[in-house]
Amino acid sequence: MPDDSTGVTAHRDRPFHETPERTLKLDVFEPVESGPRPAMLFVHGGAFVEGDKDQLERYAREFAGRGYVTATCQYRLADEATFPAALVDVKAAIEWLRSEGEGYGVDGRKIAAVGWSAGANLAALAAVTANEPGFEPEVFPGISSDLQAVVGYAGVYDFEWWDDDPEPHPTYLGGTREERPTAYDLASPVGQATFETPPTLLVHGIEDDVLPIEQSDLFYRDLDSVTEARFEPLDDAGHDFPMDAFGETVELTDEFLGANL
């Protein structure tokens, strides 16, 4: 039964990936319209060290009310497993939607990922490494992890960008750049986009003092030469704009996905 006035039905705690650390779960929000419908996977932020699937539930419910099947997923955090574990987990969620989502009305030909901060990195990285064997989960053999659209809110896209000491994210990447240079390279979507990368929207606050807007600018310039890309800088907005400017962010996302998904 629908659990709110919009007719959206929430399906809670669906297991999608059994890992050595824990069983990962996702929540699915099913619209009132019958399927098949485009799907959106929301990937939470938290600097790879915190956060959970409920962080972007407001977005998932909003877009389910607009006719999308939406899901919010967990992934392993840095104190559980280092890169590429979180990426593999996000790909498992994408493949779950494609493999198991039909029962919730998912059109497996139309799946987008939307992420905030660390989640934007994982959504973008899933897109640029679609179906690469080294990053694929074993739980859904033969099921594609490709995406048809990506939206990144205030993401980190280039781990090589910082010159500060200590470097950010050494726990997630398993060490410093000197210790794990390959991880820093492979965890950065910048430099990995190809002509097969799906249409991508990047939204970033001009006043973001957590992840500088240059991160999105770098990735946009990388994307713009190979795929449909859009970069929306937001005036008077910081890192938390997805919560502080919810309505504007929803409309930008809805317009983009309406044209590209």
Token pair 């650390």: residue = 21
pLDDT tens-digit readout, 144-183: 999 999 999 999 999 988 765 556 789 999 998 889 999 9
pLDDT tens-digit readout, 78-125: 999 999 999 999 999 999 999 999 999 999 999 999 999 999 999 999
Report the distance separating Cα 57 and Cα 62, nearest Å. Answer: 8
As a residue count, the chain comes to: 261
Predicted local distance difference test score (pLDDT) of residue 161: 83
Alpha-carbon dihedral angle through residues 53, 50, 232, 6, given to the nearest 10 degrees: 20
- Domains annotated for the chain, with CATH where assigned, are 9-260 (3.40.50.1820)
pLDDT tens-digit readout, 185-233: 999 999 999 999 999 999 999 999 999 999 999 999 999 999 999 999 9
User: Confidence class of residue 6 from pLDDT cuts 50, 70 and 90?
Assistant: confident
Where helices occur in the chain by DSSP H, the ranges are 57-65, 85-100, 118-128, 170-173, 181-186, 214-224, 241-244, 246-260
User: Hey, what are 43's tokens?
Assistant: 């990937």
The model carries a pTM of 0.96
